[in-house]
Structure 1
Amino acid sequence: MSELRFDQVTVRFGTGRNVLTAVDDVELTVPSGQVVGLVGESGSGKSTLARAAVGLTEQASGQILLDGVPLRHSAGQRRPLQMVFQDPYSSLDPRMTVGDSIAEAVPRSAGGAKHRRQEVARLLGLVGLDADRAAAYPGALSGGQRQRVAIARALAGQPDVIIADEITSALDVSIQGTVLNLVRELQRELHLSMLFISHNLAVVRYVSDFIAVMYLGRIVEVGPARDVLTDPQHPYTKELLAAAPQRGTTSLSEPDPALQAVADAEPADPHHPPAGCRFHPRCPIGPLVLPGREDCLTIDPTTEASRRRHRTACHHAAGALQTVDLSQ
């Protein structure tokens, strides 16, 4: 078990006028032996942050630390972070058997060929597959089985932290629950530290100890899962919750058309994010709906986020979110 920490991490693509800041000054910690669910819609920067952690994308600034030590990705060395990707088919070599793919990830220092075969069989059993599947090719497996193999391959590297990036979104709905149950069981059994990424808050809340919400490259709310789910502070988190209804929660019925128009607005162009609060063009309690909130247009709410509940990047999280009735 290890702690993974993102310390003011920024990732940019392009140069000059075409520069895109996909991840902007992100502060986030994955505590040792815990699952942090990172949620946000497509284009929020979640996968870019994950790829930076495993060395697939270079960061422009900041540090990514494992137990307080900056990560170094060197060829030939054990990778303390392993990633499970969204599409299990494209992440596995179709020309290699399942066993060979898993064995390739087993550290050479762990033993010879016999040990690797034994380890492959053990890992397949760990993810709920028969050992004879080692001779199969990815194309002969179902999507859920391929994702199990991808998880086994990640575990083969004996990682300190697992990063799971949208690992259920490419699967049939009937299979998603099975894979989520497997992830939760493995995490508890192996005491893994995990960054679990999804655009679906219903999926994230099922496996997470903590929840972080990302919007246009920035973390806008983070806290214990139970607290964030029962007492969300940021209006964007509230919208995500409303889009993933569950028993015991209430959703807005017949909202004010003006409020709904703002809430349904498209995200801003990430090449040219809005000044001030990046969510204000879509915010149902922002300056486009309520008067006297010009601070949202000019002042970045992330600068004072550490002083607010759940480190919320919203100027009006503490007061207005509790008093404004959006159903009126």
Structure 2
Amino acid sequence: MSELRLEDVTVRFGGRRRGLTAVERVDLTVPAGSVVGLVGESGSGKSTLARAAVGLTPIAGGAILLDGQPLRHHTRGRRPLQMVFQDPYSSLDPRMTVGASIAEALPRGSVRGRGARQAEVARLLDLVALPADRAGTYPAQLSGGQRQRVALARALAGRPDVVIADEITSALDVSVQGTVLNLVRDLQRRLALSMLFISHDLAVVRYVSDYIAVMHLGRIVEYGTADDVLLDPQHPYTRELLAAVTGPVAAPPAVLDGEPADPQHPPTGCRFHRRCPQGPLVLADREVCRTTEPVADGHRHRAACHFAAPDTTEHAERVDVPVDAAIDPRSTR
């Protein structure tokens, strides 16, 4: 088990004049042996942050630490971070068999001999609830759910300390999503993995996560334990995401501007204030939201909102976010 920590991470594309800051000064910790669910709408910077963590996208500032030490992405040997991508078909080489794809990810020198490699591939396939004879098939011969299991096996073949799963269920049929989520949760517990699980769907994130981080326009706007964030969301954006799953708990004023702000030209102050049902476009005395950027310190769940409550109020009622848990993860549909 290892702790992944991102400190003040910034990712920028392009030049100074026409560039885009996709991730800005993000602090995020994935505690050892825990799952952190990172949730936010499309374009919020989730996948960019994930790619930066595994070294696929360079960072413009900040640091990425594994157990307190700067993370170095080696081209050979074991890679401590492994990523599972959204589309399992495009992430697997269609010209390679399943077994060859998994074997290719084994750290150099970790398994010697053809027989030992075949045995290790069979073990990894069994971990993801696929029979050993799937090693001889090609990705095109498998269903979407089976391909995603192969992608999970390939990530585990690298013997990572941390797994980053980026929208791994969004390309799958709803019934298959449940089997993959059950599998992910089972693997994380059995192998004591640290995991950053990314999704735009708060229901999916709640099902597998110990902690939840909410991202909006390149910044983390709320972070806490899954129960705390769902029981008592402090940021209006988190409440909007939760209402999309459960229905609104109360009837807030309508969001005045349903479109996200332009990430190339984010608004001053709170980046959510133009859409906020409790912001200055609804409540005239909240002009501070237009002018001053909120800070997370001192607010419950580290919510970056001027009007988030301090961490003193007790919670009374749990908000259930249902996900079908009664699906056999060994289904190979």
User: Aligned runs of 1:307-318 on 2, under 5 Å?
Assistant: 307-318=298-309
Residue in structure 1 matched with residue 116 of structure 2 by the alignment? 115
Greater helix content? 1
Displacement of 1:261 after TM fit?
4.0
Distance 2:111 2:293 in 1: 53
Structure 1 ranges of 4+ moved more than 3 A = none
The residue that corresponds to 2:134 in the other structure is 133
Deviations, residues 225-280 of structure 1 (Å, cap 9, x unaligned): 000000100000000000011xxxx6257x57xx3242x52000000000000000
Report the equivalent of 1:44. 44
User: In structure 1, how many angstroms separate the alpha carbons of the residues matched to 2:226 and 2:260?
Assistant: 25
Give the root-mean-square deviation of aligned CA atoms. Answer: 1.3
* SS of residue paired to 2:89: coil
TM-score (norm 2): 0.91
Of 281, 286, 291, 1:293 maps to: 286
> Which residue is equivalent to 1:220?
221
Q: Distance in 2 between matches of 1:203 and 1:270?
A: 26
Return the letter of the residue paired with 1:181: N
- 1:326 match: none
Matched residues in 1 for 2:87 and 2:304: separation?
A: 32
Hey, what's the Cα distance between the residues in 2 that align with 1:261 and 1:9?
A: 30
Equivalent position of 1:63 in the other structure: 63
After TM superposition, the structure 1 = structure 2 runs for residues 130-279 of structure 1, keeping only pairs within 5 Å, are: 130-245=131-246, 251=248, 255=251, 259-262=253-256, 265-279=258-272
| In structure 2, distance between residues paired with 1:4 and 1:213 | 17
User: Is contact 2:92-2:139 (8 Å) kept?
Assistant: yes
Amino acid at match of 2:268: A
d(CA) in 2 for partners of 1:8, 1:167: 26
Query: Structure 1 residue 108: deviation in Å?
Result: 2.3
**Distance in 1 separating the partners of 2:84 and 2:185:** 14
- TM-score (normalizing by structure 1): 0.92
Tell me how far apart the structure 1 counterparts of residues 264 and 38 of structure 2 sit (CA, whole Å): 22
Q: Provide the rounded CA distance (Å) in 2 between the counterparts of 1:318 and 1:287.
A: 18
Aligned match of 1:74: 74
Question: Following the alignment from structure 1 to structure 2, what is the Cα–Cα distance between the partners of residues 59 and 69?
Answer: 16
Over residues 190-238 of structure 1, what are the superposed CA-to-partner deviations in whole Å (9 max), with x where a residue is unaligned?
0000000000000000000000000000000000000000010000000
Hey, what's the Cα distance between the residues in 1 that align with 2:255 and 2:38?
26
Q: Spell out, residue by residue over 1:42-101, the C-alpha distance to the aligned partner (whole angstroms, 9 max, x if none).
A: 000000000001000000000000000011112113210000000000000000000000
SS at match of 2:297: helix
Structure 2 counterpart of 1:284, from 277, 294, 314 = 277
Provide the C-alpha distance between the structure 2 equivalents of 1:261 and 1:242, rounded to a whole number of angstroms.
12
Give the number of aligned pairs: 310
Q: Runs of 5+ in structure 2 lacking a partner? A: 314-333
